Amino acid sequence: KETEQQLQFLSNYDRLTGLANRTQFREHLHKSLTLARLNREKVALLMIDLDRFKPINDTLGHPIGDLVLQRIANRLRLAARDGDIVARIGGDEFAIIAFGLGNPDAATTVAERVVEILSRPMIIEGNVVEISGSVGVGMAPDHGSDPDALVQHADIALYSAKHGGKQTYRLFEPRLMEAIQRRRSLEASLRRASMRNEFRIVYQPVFSSAQGEITGAEALLRWTCPQHGEISPTEFIPIAEELGLVSRIGSDVLRRACKDAAGWPEHIDLAVNVSPVQLLDPRLPQTVSQALADSGLAPERLELEITETALLNNDEAALRTLTHIRDQGVRISLDDFGTGYSSLSYLHRFPISRIKIDKSFVQKLPDDVGSASIVRAIAQLGSSLSMKITAEGIETDSQLSFIQEQGCDEVQGFLTGRPIAPADFLLLAGR
């Protein structure tokens, strides 16, 4: 009898967390939906996915990963109400079936609580684990009254939560389907584009703040999708990262930009953006030296722009890669500074020679008191650490004067020059 009970338990419950497993989840969902239909009640399905579980598992090891999952399970039990069903339906995927909800608002309240409770950091065996989760919500009968339809719609909401910046929830709505179709079709086009090299590079001039002379240019990638038209790099780079295409696309940009820059006057430097995913690739230093060798561009004229996200989590590997690159004579700058963690320890630990103040601050100058003090503080920080400072996103004369008063070294923005085609940049650069 005991063995039978144990077998019963094993086939219905997840061994690691003791939550209902996938099989039992499906059974519960089926029953709950039938009951709800009879009683004319609403049922909410919350599909939950952890945002950064894989890197945690990879860096801290599986035993810690298991502990994280167990704690998450406990937190979900707390977030759910009596009678709700909490299940683990995959590696880092969970679900809650919630009952007795009068309207979608009640369901989003539960979702909000789940997001909040999941984003509290954990301390496990001396490690601080920063974790968070995304939630997709589907309501029965509004978004489907059979299990398959409801799961599918809640999954679509989850997908949209994950691509909408994570650590958030979304309630299903029909327009999310269109967004998903667009995304799928963009993915397919992007794969084709990267095979056929359908990208263009434009160059935005950078000027010295004091003399107003052109000192360099930032290479910015452009892509016109055959179906969807011009797509911003802020949209397609993250997709390329997810599809594993960004290293290939990134090395191509590096190669082509170095070739272009080798034809510019020698006092004009080149800045190229490097995605955090590229930085994880140990071949990056090799790619950089190859691009320099092929083009004949002096390493001192090249600067790679990274963002702080690249330095999070895997900072040992990032440090090694960046040091290799710096040892070749190439400089590293920290892009979009102020928007991420802005941890001062990065500036100290990593071989960074320039900070680029994010345009979100610059654009609120000079009136916004908060932005003004942030810009002032970053400028001072830069000069005391002997780093160069660039302010990006300058659009007005008053922003420019403010930046000049702060003693920033370089300026970049639509006011001084928009990104332009390589041939136009060559003219501007005076050759």
Question: Cβ(20)–Cβ(74) under 8 Å?
Answer: no
Q: Which does 394 bind (CB under 5 to 8 A by kind): Mg ion, ligand C2E, none?
A: ligand C2E
- The nearest distance, CB 340 to ligand C2E, in angstroms, is 12
**Could you write out the three-class secondary structure of 34-64?**
HHHHHHCCCEEEEEEEECCHHHHHHHHCHHH
- The nearest distance, CB 293 to ligand C2E, in angstroms, is 20
Beta pairing partners, 333: 305, 354
Q: Which does 410 bind (CB under 5 to 8 A by kind): Mg ion, ligand C2E, none?
A: none
What SS3 state is found at 386?
coil
- Here the tokens at position 50 are 């952890």
Q: Based on CB atoms, which residue is closest to Mg ion, 85 or 221?
A: 221
Q: Based on CB atoms, which residue is closest to ligand C2E, 133 or 276?
A: 276
Longest dimension (CA), the chain: 88
CA 391 distance to own-chain centroid: 22
What is the Cα–Cα distance from 149 to 173, expressed in whole angstroms? 13
- Residues of this chain that bind ligand C2E (CB under 6 A): 204, 220-221, 232-234, 237, 250, 253, 273-275, 305, 335-336, 359, 392-395, 412-414, 419
Q: Based on CB atoms, which residue is closest to Mg ion, 49 or 335?
A: 335
Task: Transcribe 307-318 into DSSP letters.
Answer: -GGGGSS-HHHH
- The nearest distance, CB 285 to ligand C2E, in angstroms, is 16
Closest CA to 115 of 65, 162, 62: 162
- The nearest distance, CB 418 to Mg ion, in angstroms, is 15
> Which residue is associated with the tokens 């995913």?
277
Q: Based on CB atoms, which residue is closest to ligand C2E, 14 or 336?
A: 336
Question: Cβ(108)–Cβ(172) under 8 Å?
Answer: no
Q: Based on CB atoms, which residue is closest to ligand C2E, 46 or 394?
A: 394
- Here the tokens at position 240 are 């390329």
What is the Cα–Cα distance from 140 to 103, expressed in whole angstroms? 10
Q: Which DSSP category does 81 fall into? A: P
- The nearest distance, CB 307 to Mg ion, in angstroms, is 8
Half-sphere exposure of 301 (CA within 13 A, CB side): 25
Q: Based on CB atoms, which residue is closest to ligand C2E, 53 or 207?
A: 207
Q: Which does 409 bind (CB under 5 to 8 A by kind): Mg ion, ligand C2E, none?
A: none
- The nearest distance, CB 117 to Mg ion, in angstroms, is 33
Q: Which does 308 bind (CB under 5 to 8 A by kind): ligand C2E, Mg ion, none?
A: none
- The nearest distance, CB 227 to ligand C2E, in angstroms, is 20
CA 407 distance to own-chain centroid: 31
- The nearest distance, CB 286 to ligand C2E, in angstroms, is 18
- Residues of this chain that bind Mg ion (CB under 5 A): 273, 305, 335-336
Q: How many CB atoms lie within 10 A of CB 351?
A: 14
Q: Based on CB atoms, which residue is closest to ligand C2E, 17 or 416?
A: 416
Check the CA dihedral 60-64-68-71 and report its sign: negative
Beta-strand pair 302-306/331-337: parallel
Beta pairing partners, 305: 273, 333
- The nearest distance, CB 143 to ligand C2E, in angstroms, is 35
Say whether the peptide bond before residue 238 is cis (omega within 30 degrees of 0): no
Q: Based on CB atoms, which residue is closest to ligand C2E, 131 or 400?
A: 400
Q: Which does 104 bind (CB under 5 to 8 A by kind): Mg ion, ligand C2E, none?
A: none
What is the Cα–Cα distance from 418 to 425, expressed in whole angstroms? 10
Closest CA to 430 of 217, 175, 184, 252: 217
Q: Based on CB atoms, which residue is closest to ligand C2E, 180 or 220?
A: 220
Q: Based on CB atoms, which residue is closest to Mg ion, 285 or 419?
A: 419
- The nearest distance, CB 250 to ligand C2E, in angstroms, is 6
